[in-house]
Amino acid sequence: MKTILCYGDSNTWGYDPVASAGTPYAIRHPHDVRWTGVLARELGEGHRVIEEGMNGRTTVLDDPVIQHRNGRAYLPACLESHKPIDLVVLMLGTNDLKVMYNLPPSEIAAGAGQLVKLIKQSESGPKAGAPRILLVSPALVGDFSRVPDIAEKFVDAMEKTRRFPVLYEAIAQQHGCAFLNIQPHAKASDWDGLHFEADQHTSIGLAMASAVRRVLG
């Protein structure tokens, strides 16, 4: 049995932008619709996919308003809880784009690199080794015209996300881990410019499955 831990934000959690529109709370896509569910179905028997997504999660940053969003703070406990882990799929960085953090894309990628280092130094893989890592550069953000409250939080975010693939790939090469650019496989919803509708989860899940197969052989 191969264990794959998918560590990410609301797009790993499965936030449904259409169902959530106009509601005071977040609504998730069904399990089998989320890209993690598609990944599990594609990989089939002999694989266990653990969905570890959280709305608002950052790479290494503390949200001054909402607690427990720092991805680095929770990651060690998460790895310890689910070990032995064969592969960690790491897709974070979109929430680091918020204007309150005021970070250039290179520093956001560096934050993802800190998480890669933490995973490599852990003993959460088979036989107390390190898990393999698939570093995924986040998708492009889209049009925020329908959601002015989000637009004011993500000023200039699209241009920053355009630089993510090159920067994340460099981090992956630096640390000797696998890399996937998800941008050709994912388009943010026109409803909010951030999250994925059902068809995009399918596309992402298929791309992830192909990448995971390559990593795990």
pLDDT at residue 162, rounded to an integer: 97
In this prediction, residues 41-64 reach a mean pLDDT of 97
- Residue 195: is it exposed, middle or buried by C-beta count within 10 angstroms (0-12/13-18/19+)? buried
CA atoms within 13 A on the CB side of 99: 8
pLDDT at residue 146, rounded to an integer: 87
pLDDT in tens, 104-133: 999 999 999 999 999 999 999 999 999 999
- Residue given tokens 């882990």 in the structure block: 85
CA distance 144 to 193: 5
In this prediction, residues 30-53 reach a mean pLDDT of 98
Q: Quick one: CATH architecture of 2-216? A: 3-Layer(aba) Sandwich (3.40)
SS3 112: helix
pLDDT in tens, 64-108: 999 999 999 999 999 999 999 999 999 999 999 999 999 999 999
Inter-residue contact 157 to 142 (CB < 8 Å): no
pLDDT at residue 185, rounded to an integer: 97
CA distance 112 to 122: 16
In this prediction, residues 187-193 reach a mean pLDDT of 95
Residue 61 Cα distances to 13, 48, 128, 144, angstroms: 19, 29, 28, 23
Domain ranges for the chain, please list them. Answer: 2-216
User: Among 17-26, 90-99, 200-209, where is mean pLDDT lowest?
Assistant: 17-26
Q: Is the pLDDT of residue 142 over 90?
A: yes
pLDDT at residue 175, rounded to an integer: 97
pLDDT in tens, 156-186: 999 999 999 999 999 999 999 999 999 999 9
Q: Is the pLDDT of residue 22 over 90?
A: no
CA distance 146 to 160: 20
- Percent of the chain beyond pLDDT 90? 96
Whole-number average pLDDT of the chain: 97
CA-based diameter of the chain, in Å? 50
